[in-house]
Structure 1
């Protein structure tokens, strides 16, 4: 008995979610097809029924992770007024928190992969470049600014802060990095409350 198209689509989605989480947790090079398929509840043999290669899986998983991040940021900014926050504060707090530091598999792909991206293939770098631009654009909108440089600086501050907070082995220092970065980002918030 074969799989229906709906079952195949559901299986493919599980693989993408698993691979997306795994590359954010362990890095692109650490992604193993057999482990990913097993974690998604499928056999290694089923892999080629869904993807043409490991590289194709990585690109689609990265695209999935970026899409998840974009949806989260849209939701965060849309709900900022209801929480009595400015859009920039909502974005900054969504990134610059301990939960994000400790759970890279559910967090921003850019924060998780920025350090390793320079060694990645051009397609991965292209995906991350596109996301940097999207995130900078969202931040520029959040602060009602046309300044791409300022928005890119905020992106760099956020990504750098998460990268450093994950790198250190001192929780107090990690919290200080997050707090100082949040304060720095908020100096750009013209609508701060």
Structure 2
């Protein structure tokens, strides 16, 4: 009798596990908010992800930064650049079999922009040279990669931690060389 009860419990567990994965497979969209960027960098960063199948997903994320501390550092000359915005389309591949918690690898492209400052030499009417700071805007495109971990709670709320970086390609004399891709997202899958 105990043997049959044990087999029935195991069968029940497997049937529930299958139902949970089917529930996630039917929900192909997710909207996320980056909590880490909001707290640490005063940056608003939201994302949308579309799941194509169990292994692949595509998405787009966008961020806008208007931090008082970052502006002060830029104005005092501590930082050469002041990033303002970024738009990141991405492709992800799941490295695990489970759909409820898994590791992933990501490739992304980042269209980013902001302000930059440089020291330039100017010449006045008398022919005397002097140096002054010069500010202008920059825009660039970066390609990069990231790795991360995602966990679902009740098949609809997702927690996601990822870390990566990209390299700006076209305007590196003005833009930062490296674009970080770091976040702790809280999402809703539907």
* TM-score > 0.5 by shorter chain: no
More strand by share: 2
Higher relative contact order (CA 8 A, sep 6+): 1
**Structure 2-normalised TM-score?**
0.25
